[in-house]
C-alpha cells in the first residue's frame, strides 16, 4: 500500500482544479472544499510519459558513466593509486548516498513537479534557499554539460586529431586539425547537436538515451572481457610537451599493458601524483578527487526529469538507488582490473588507454562518444528544466520571464536556448580538468542543501512530513552536510568560499525582492519547534527584578488614529513582548462565523507596514471591559505574558486618520502580487463627531467613563501596570526626534518626568513603587537608539520650608545608584498646594456650621470617602488646583518636551467617583502634548548587580 500511495496522491491532486488547491487566506476556510496543501499543477496538455527505468535509471547511469569510466579511470588509479582511488570512491559515494537518502525522503513526501532538486529545496526550505540553490544547481548543470562536451572533444582529438607538435600521425585517421580554437569549434558543434535534440523535447531525449544506454552497456561488457582476452602489449603514448615531463628532457613514449600480474598490482597500490599531461598542472589528492567526483554528480539526473515522469515519488528513489549501487560496483571493479594489468606510466600518460587494450578499438571510442554526448544532453536538458522552474516561480521577476515560454508540447525552448548559450561561454575554458573543480563544488553545495532541507523537515517535526521512504535519519542528513562541506574546502577553498558567498548574496536578493510564496517556510516550523521548547523552559518562578522588562498589551480601537502611539510603544518595549489588542463587540451565538478571522490579515499587514515587532491578539466580547479582561488573562504563553496595559485616553477629541494620509500610496509594499493589488487595510472609518466613543479602546461603540475607569481598576487588581496615553493622535516620531539630529553637539529633544502623585500634594514621596516605575520607563526610552540623544528632565516638586538642596542631593544619589542619567529641576509649588489646603479649610468650616448629628454624618462620609479613594484623594481636589498644576507643568516646559511621563494615581474604590477621577485626569493633562500617565504595581528596578 505504501508503494502506491504517492501515485494515488498524485492522481488525486492533479484532478483537482488549481483554484481548489490554492490555500485560503489565514482564517478563511472554504465551505465546499477542505484545505489541501497547494502545489503547482503541470500542463494538462502534456501528460507524464517516462517510467522509472527510462526516466531515472538510464539518465542517472549515463550521467555517471561518462567521463570518469572511459577517460579518467586510469587517471584516478595512476595518480592516487588503488588504495586512495578506492578510498575516494568510498568517500564520494558515502556523500552521495547520504544525499540520495535525503532526496528519496523528500521526493516521497508528496507530488513533485519540474525542477528536480530545486523543486525539493524550494518547497522544503522556502523561496530564499530554493531560489539561491536553484541558481547554483542550474550553473552546476551548465558547467557539467560543458565539461562533458570538452571530454568528448578530448576523445575525438585523441583519436582523429593531428598532433600539435608536428609529429607524424600514428594512424591514417588522424586528420582533424588540433589546437585551442579547433577544439572550441568541435565543442560548439557538439553543443549545437545537444541543443537540437533538447529542442525537440524530453521524449526524444529519452528514446535517444535508451539507445545510448544499450551501446554503453555493450562497450562496458567488451572492456571487462578485454582485460581477460587481450594479451600483454606495448602501447605508444600520446605526445606531450617537454615542460610537462617533470624535468626530463623527453618523456617516455611507450608503456605496457601487462595483463594480470602481482608486480603490476604492487606498483599501482600507492599514490604517485605527477603532472597532468593535458593541463601541465601538478596533481594532488584534491584535484584528482574533483575530477573523479564528476562521475558521481549524475545522481540528480533522474530528479531533474521529475516534471516528465509518470510518478516522480515512486520512480526517483528506486531508480536513483539502483543506478548508484550499479555504478559503485562497476567503478571499483574497473579500478581493481586496471591496477592489476596496466603499469603506472600507461595510466598517467594515456587517459584513453582503454581503447588501445580493447578487443576492438572502436568499441571504446563509440562508448566514450555515446556516454559523454548523453551526459551533455542530460545536463543541458536538466539545466533548462531548472531554469524553467525558476522562471515559473517568479523569484527573479521579469529577469527570467522569457524562460517561461514553452512549445505546444510543453518543452521550455527558451530555457534550453539560454542554457545552451551559457554552456557555450563555459566552453571557452578549453580543458576538462580546468572546470572539474568548479563543477564539483557546485554539485557538493547543492547536495549539502538537499541534506539541509531534509534535516530541517525532520527537525521541525511537522506532522505533514511523513515520507514513505523511511531509510534515513537526521544523522544521515548531518553526515551528508559535513561530508559535502569538508570536501568542498578540501578541493578548493577559494572556489568553495566564493560559491557560498554567491549563494548567500542570491539568498538576500530573493529575500528582499521576491514576492511571498504559498509553498510554506521551513523556518516557521523550526522557529515554532524551538520557541515551544524555550517557552516551556521559561519558568515564571525564576523571574527576578534584575531582568524585568516591559511586556506591553496596547489596546487599539482603530489603528487609523493610533499610528503614533503604536510606533511609540514599540520604542518603549525594550525587547519585551508587545501585543496589539483589539476588542470587537458581538456575540458569537448570533453570528454565522467568527468575524475576527478575516481581520487578522489587515492587522498583520499593519505590523509589517509600520515595521514594528508586535503580535496581534483580537477578541470578541459583549463589552470592551470584558474583552480587555479576556486579553489580560489569556495573552501570551508561559513566562511571556503582558505585565503592562496601555490604553488611549478617554476624551472627546476627534481622531485623525494618520494611516490613510501617510501611507495610502504605499500599497505595493503590502500587496506582493503586483498583478492583483488590493487595499492593504480594512479598518473601519473614524468617527466624525464628538461621540462617547474614544480613541484607544474601541471605536464606533459607546464606552462610558464608568467602564473606562473600571478597566483601569481591573488591570491593577490583576497586578498589571497601567499606562494611559493622551495627545498621541498627532504624535509624529520622526518630527519629535528631528531636533536631536539637527545639532550634532547638542540635543533639543527632552523627555519630562514628574515622579510625584500630583493628585496628592500632601504626599510628595519620590521612592514609592509607582514613581520608580516612571523612572524605569523613561530610562528604557532613553536607551533606545533613536532616543539616545534625548535628555531626561526630572522635576522635583518642593514646598517652602523644606530643604531644596537636601532633597535634590537625595534624589541625585538615588539616580546615581539606579544608573539613570537625568537633569533634576526643583519646582516650587506652594501656590498650587495652597489651593489644595484651602479646600480642606472650607470643608472644616462647613462642618462647624452644622448641627452635631449632621457634622458626625459628614465626618463619616468624608472618612469613608477618603478611605475608599485610597491614594487618589478624589473628593478633596478642586478644578482650580488641577488647573494650577496643569499650568505649572506647562510653565516648566521650556523648550517643550517630546513626551511627558506623569504619575497615575489609583482609581477610587468607590465606583461613584469614577467620573470625577477621569475628569481630574483630563484637567491635569489638558494641552500638555503627548503624555503618558503611568501607574506601576510591582517593583521593576534594583541597585544590585
pLDDT, tens digit, 9 for 90 and up, residues 20-43: 333 444 444 443 334 334 344 444
Residue ranges of alpha helices (H) inside 461-562 are 474-491, 493-513, 522-537
Residues 267, 345 contacting (CB under 8 angstroms)? no
pLDDT digits (tens, 9 = 90+) for 920-944: 999 999 988 899 999 999 888 776 6
Architecture in CATH for domain 52-164+175-235+254-513: Up-down Bundle (1.20)
Return d(Cα 932, Cα 568) in angstroms, integer: 11
Task: Name the residue among 794, 662, 789 with its Cα closest to residue 737.
Answer: 789
Beta bridge partners of 647: 724
pLDDT of residue 269: 93
Q: Is the peptide bond before 895 cis (omega within 30 degrees of 0)?
A: yes
Residues in the chain: 945
- Determine the distance from the C-alpha atom of residue 370 to the mean position of all C-alpha atoms in its chain, rounded to a whole number: 43
Question: What grid cell was written down for 870?
Answer: 485610597
Q: Which pLDDT belongs to residue 66?
A: 67
Other Cβ atoms less than 10 A from the Cβ of 770: the count is: 21
Counting DSSP H helices and E strands in the chain, the numbers are 34, 12
Instruction: Report the C-alpha gap between 821 and 791 in whole angstroms.
Output: 8
The predicted pLDDT at position 330 comes to 92
All cell numbers assigned to 683: 479598518
Spatial distance between the Cα atoms of 777 and 934, rounded to a whole number of angstroms: 9
Question: Which residues pair with residue 903 across a beta bridge?
Answer: 934
Residue 893 C-alpha cell reads as 516646559
Task: Count CB-CB contacts under 10 A for residue 870.
Answer: 14
**Is 278 within 8 Å of 154 (Cβ atoms)?**
yes
Please report which residue ranges of 746-878 form alpha helices under DSSP H. Answer: 769-783, 804-817, 830-848, 852-868
In terms of Cα–Cα distance, which of 294, 15, 255 is closest to 140? 294
**CA dist., res. 317 & res. 106, Å (int):** 10
Question: What's the rounded Cα separation, in Å, for the pair 916 and 339?
Answer: 101
Write down the pLDDT at residue 352: 80
Kindly give, in sequence order, each residue whose CB lies less than 8 Å from that of residue 165, ignoring residues fewer than 6 positions away: 239, 241
Indicate where the chain has its CATH 3.40.50.620 domain(s).
550-656+702-720
**Neighbouring residues of 209: CB distance < 8 A, sequence distance ≥ 6:** 54, 58, 59, 62, 374, 377, 378
3-state SS assignment for residue 811: helix
Domain 732-842+874-944, classified CATH 1.10.10, yes or no:
no
> DSSP letter string over 559-593?
GGG-HHHHHHHHHHTTTS-EEEEEEEE--GGGSSS
Residue 784 CB contacts under 8 Å (≥ 6 apart), including other chains:
571, 572, 574
Q: What is the phi/psi pair of residue 162, to 5°? A: -75, 135
Show the low-confidence residues of the chain (pLDDT under 70): 1-49, 66-67, 111-117, 164-172, 201-202, 239-252, 304, 430, 514-518, 520, 660-680, 687-702, 739-747, 762-765, 800-803, 836-876, 943-945
Q: What CA–CA distance (Å, rounded) separates 945 from 939?
A: 16
The three-state secondary structure class of 67 is helix
Under 8 Å between Cβ of 165 and 239: yes
Q: Is the dihedral of CA 267, 270, 273, 276 positive or negative?
A: positive
Query: Could you say which architecture CATH assigns to the domain 550-656+702-720?
Result: 3-Layer(aba) Sandwich (3.40)
Distance CA 699, CA 685 (A): 9
Report the pLDDT value the prediction gives residue 690, as an integer from 0 to 100.
43
Report pLDDT for 518. Answer: 65
pLDDT of amino acid 796? 84
Numbered ranges of CATH 1.20.1740.10 in the chain: 52-164+175-235+254-513
Q: Under a CB-based contact definition with an 8 Å cutoff, are residues 305 and 55 in contact?
A: yes
Amino acid at each position: 500500500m505504501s508503494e502506491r500511495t504517492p501515485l494515488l496522491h498524485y492522481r488525486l491532486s492533479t484532478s483537482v482544479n488549481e483554484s481548489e488547491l490554492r490555500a485560503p487566506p489565514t482564517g478563511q476556510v472554504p465551505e465546499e472544499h477542505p484545505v489541501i496543501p497547494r502545489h503547482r499543477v503541470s500542463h494538462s496538455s502534456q501528460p507524464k510519459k517516462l517510467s522509472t527505468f527510462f526516466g531515472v535509471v538510464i539518465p542517472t547511469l549515463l550521467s555517471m558513466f561518462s567521463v570518469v569510466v572511459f577517460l579518467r579511470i586510469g587517471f584516478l588509479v595512476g595518480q592516487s593509486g588503488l588504495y586512495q582511488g578506492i578510498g575516494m570512491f568510498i568517500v564520494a559515494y558515502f556523500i552521495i548516498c547520504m544525499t540520495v537518502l535525503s532526496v528519496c525522503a523528500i521526493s516521497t513526501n508528496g507530488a513533485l513537479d519540474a525542477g528536480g532538486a530545486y523543486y525539493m529545496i524550494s518547497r522544503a526550505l522556502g523561496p530564499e534557499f530554493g531560489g539561491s540553490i536553484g541558481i547554483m544547481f542550474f550553473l552546476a548543470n551548465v558547467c557539467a554539460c560543458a565539461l562533458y562536451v570538452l571530454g568528448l572533444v578530448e576523445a575525438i582529438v585523441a583519436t582523429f586529431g593531428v598532433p600539435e607538435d608536428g609529429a607524424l600521425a600514428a594512424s591514417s585517421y588522424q586528420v582533424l586539425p588540433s589546437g585551442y580554437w579547433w577544439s572550441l569549434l568541435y565543442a560548439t558543434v557538439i553543443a549545437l547537436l545537444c541543443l537540437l535534440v533538447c529542442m525537440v523535447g524530453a521524449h526524444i531525449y529519452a528514446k535517444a538515451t535508451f539507445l545510448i544506454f544499450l551501446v554503453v552497456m555493450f562497450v562496458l561488457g567488451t572492456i571487462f572481457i578485454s582485460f581477460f582476452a587481450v594479451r600483454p602489449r606495448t602501447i605508444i603514448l600520446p605526445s606531450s610537451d617537454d615542460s610537462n615531463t617533470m624535468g626530463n628532457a623527453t618523456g617516455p613514449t611507450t608503456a605496457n599493458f601487462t595483463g594480470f600480474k602481482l608486480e603490476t598490482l604492487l606498483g599501482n597500490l600507492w599514490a604517485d601524483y605527477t603532472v597532468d599531461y593535458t593541463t601541465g598542472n601538478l596533481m594532488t589528492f584534491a584535484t584528482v578527487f574533483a575530477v573523479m567526483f564528476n562521475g558521481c554528480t549524475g545522481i540528480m539526473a533522474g530528479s531533474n526529469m521529475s516534471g516528465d515522469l509518470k510518478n516522480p515519488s515512486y520512480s526517483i528513489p528506486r531508480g536513483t538507488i539502483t543506478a548508484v549501487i550499479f555504478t559503485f560496483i562497476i567503478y571499483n571493479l574497473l579500478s581493481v582490473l586496471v591496477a592489476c594489468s596496466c603499469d603506472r606510466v600507461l595510466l598517467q600518460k594515456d587517459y584513453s588507454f582503454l581503447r588501445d587494450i580493447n578487443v576492438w578499438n572502436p568499441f571504446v571510442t563509440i562508448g566514450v562518444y555515446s556516454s559523454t554526448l548523453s551526459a551533455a544532453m542530460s545536463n543541458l536538458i536538466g539545466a533548462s528544466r531548472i531554469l524553467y522552474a525558476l522562471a515559473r516561480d517568479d523569484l527573479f521577476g521579469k529577469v527570467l520571464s522569457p524562460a517561461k515560454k514553452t512549445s505546444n508540447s510543453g518543452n521550455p525552448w527558451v530555457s534550453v536556448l539560454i542554457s545552451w548559450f551559457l554552456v557555450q561561454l563555459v566552453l571557452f575554458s578549453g580543458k576538462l580538468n580546468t572546470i572539474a573543480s568548479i563543477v564539483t563544488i557546485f554539485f557538493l553545495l547543492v547536495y549539502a542543501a538537499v541534506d539541509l532541507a531534509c534535516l530541517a523537515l525532520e527537525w521541525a517535526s511537522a506532522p505533514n512530513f511523513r515520507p514513505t521512504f523511511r531509510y534515513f535519519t537526521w544523522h544521515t542528513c548531518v553526515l551528508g552536510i559535513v561530508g559535502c562541506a569538508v570536501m568542498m574546502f578540501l578541493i578548493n577553498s577559494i572556489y568553495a568560499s566564493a560559491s557560498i558567498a554567491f549563494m548567500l548574496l542570491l539568498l538576500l536578493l530573493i529575500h528582499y525582492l521576491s514576492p511571498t510564496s504559498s509553498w510554506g517556510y521551513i523556518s516557521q516550523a523550526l522557529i515554532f519547534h524551538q520557541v515551544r521548547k524555550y517557552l516551556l523552559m521559561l519558568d515564571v518562578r525564576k523571574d527576578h527584578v534584575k531582568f524585568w522588562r516591559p511586556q506591553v498589551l496596547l489596546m487599539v480601537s482603530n489603528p487609523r488614529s493610533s499610528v503614533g502611539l503604536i510606533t511609540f510603544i514599540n520604542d518603549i518595549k525594550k525587547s519585551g513582548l508587545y501585543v496589539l489588542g483589539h476588542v470587537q463587540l458581538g456575540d458569537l451565538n448570533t453570528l454565522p462565523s467568527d468575524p475576527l478571522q478575516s481581520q487578522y490579515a489587515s492587522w498583520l499587514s499593519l505590523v509589517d507596514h509600520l515595521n514594528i515587532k508586535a503580535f496581534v491578539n483580537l477578541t470578541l466580547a459583549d463589552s470592551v471591559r470584558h474583552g480587555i479582561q479576556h486579553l489580560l488573562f489569556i495573552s501570551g504563553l508561559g513566562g511571556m505574558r503582558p505585565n503592562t496595559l496601555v490604553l488611549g485616553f478617554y476624551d472627546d477629541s476627534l481622531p485623525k486618520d494618520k494611516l490613510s494620509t501617510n501611507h495610502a500610496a504605499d500599497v505595493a509594499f503590502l500587496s506582493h502580487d503586483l498583478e492583483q493589488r488590493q487595499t492593504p487595510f480594512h479598518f473601519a472609518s473614524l468617527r466624525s463627531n464628538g461621540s462617547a466613543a474614544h480613541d484607544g479602546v474601541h471605536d464606533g461603540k459607546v464606552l462610558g467613563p464608568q467602564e473606562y475607569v473600571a478597566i483601569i481598576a481591573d488591570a491593577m487588581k490583576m497586578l498589571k501596570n497601567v499606562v494611559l496615553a493622551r495627545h498621541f493622535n498627532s504624535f509624529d516620531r520622526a518630527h519629535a526626534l528631528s531636533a536631536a539630529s539637527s545639532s550634532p553637539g547638542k540635543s533639543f529633544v527632552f523627555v519630562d518626568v514628574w515622579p510625584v502623585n500630583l493628585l496628592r500634594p500632601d504626599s510628595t514621596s519620590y521612592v514609592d513603587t509607582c514613581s520608580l516605575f516612571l523612572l524605569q520607563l523613561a530610562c528604557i526610552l532613553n536607551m533606545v537608539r533613536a532616543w539616545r540623544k534625548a535628555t531626561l528632565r526630572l522635576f522635583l516638586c518642593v514646598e517652602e520650608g523644606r530643604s531644596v538642596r537636601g532633597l535634590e542631593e537625595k534624589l541625585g544619589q538615588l539616580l546615581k545608584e539606579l544608573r539613570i542619567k537625568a537633569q533634576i529641576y526643583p519646582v516650587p509649588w506652594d501656590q498650587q498646594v495652597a489651593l489644595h489646603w484651602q479646600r480642606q479649610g472650607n470643608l472644616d468650616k462647613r462642618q462647624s456650621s452644622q448641627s452635631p448629628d449632621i457634622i458626625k454624618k459628614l465626618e463619616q462620609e468624608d472618612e469613608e470617602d477618603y478611605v475608599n479613594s485610597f491614594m487618589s484623594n478624589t473628593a478633596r481636589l478642586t478644578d482650580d488646583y488641577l488647573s494650577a498644576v496643569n499650568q505649572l507643568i506647562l510653565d516648566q516646559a521650556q523648550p517643550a518636551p517630546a513626551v511627558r511621563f506623569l504619575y497615575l494615581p489609583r482609581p477610587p474604590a468607590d465606583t461613584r467617583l469614577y467620573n470625577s477621577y477621569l475628569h481630574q485626569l483630563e484637567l491635569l493633562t489638558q494641552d500638555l502634548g503627548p503624555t503618558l500617565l503611568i501607574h506601576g504595581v510591582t517593583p521593576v528596578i534594583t541597585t544590585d548587580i
